[in-house]
Amino acid sequence: MSNPRPQSPNMQNYRPQLTSVMSFGHRLSGSALVFFAFGLSAWLVAGAAGPLVFDDAQAVVHSIAGRVMLILASLAVFYHLCNGIRHLIWDSVHGFELRAIYAGGWAVVGASLFLTSALWIWVLA
């Protein structure tokens, strides 16, 4: 064939909807949590390695970048947890009507933001 057919755009044109955005967020938070787990074990190893190494690790954690990373990591934890429960509810074949999908979705977004801010207000206060 001289001209292979062009393909119509998919993600380049399709509208982001609560469904696809939350699903992507679940995957993104899950991948981010892999790195967070890695960082957490590095921090624990630094703790076991003695006060000098641990002081360096704490300096990183208490820096502005470190705090931002921690806040984002806790957001990822809570979002992945709440959306994970939503996924488990779907696995039991409940909550598939559009109204439930959207209500549950916004509830998960609200719950993760609430839990993250509650945790940090409690920690920093």
Partner 1 sequence: MIVESSEQVPRLKWPRRFPVPRDFGVAKNSRIIEGKSWPEPEGATRIATLRIYRYEPDNDGPPRIDTFAVDLDDCGPMLLDALIWIKSKVDSTLTFRRSCREGVCGSCAMTIDGTNWTACTRAMDELSEPSTIYPLANLPVIKDLVSDQTHLFAQHALTEPWLHTETPAPERERIQSVDQRRALDGSYECILCFCCTSGCPSHWWNGDRFLGPAALLTAWRWLADSRDEGRGERLDSLDDPFRLYRCHTILNCTRTCPRGLNPGKAIGEIKRMMLERGG
Binding of partner 1 at residue 48 (CB under 8 A)? no
Q: Smaller CB distance to partner 1: residue 34 or 97?
A: 97
Known binding positions: 80
Q: Smaller CB distance to partner 1: residue 4 or 51?
A: 4
| Cα–Cα distance for residue pair 7/5, rounded to 1 Å | 6
φ/ψ (deg, to 5) at 17: -120, 165
Burial of 13 (0-12, 13-18, 19+ CB in 10 A): exposed
Tell me which of 37, 45, 87, 123 binds partner 1, using CB under 8 A. Answer: 87
Tell me which of 48, 52, 65, 98 binds partner 1, using CB under 8 A. Answer: 98
Name the one range near partner 1 by CB under 8 A: 38-46, 61-69, 99-107, 115-123: 99-107
For residue 38, CA distances in Å to 31, 32, 88 come to 11, 10, 26
Binding of partner 1 at residue 122 (CB under 8 A)? no
Burial of 11 (0-12, 13-18, 19+ CB in 10 A): exposed
Smallest gap from Cβ 25 to partner 1, in A, equals 11
State the distance between the two ends of the chain, measured CA to CA, in whole angstroms. 69
Smallest gap from Cβ 76 to partner 1, in A, equals 18
Query: Binding-site residue total for partner 1 (CB under 8 A)?
Result: 32
Binding of partner 1 at residue 13 (CB under 8 A)? yes
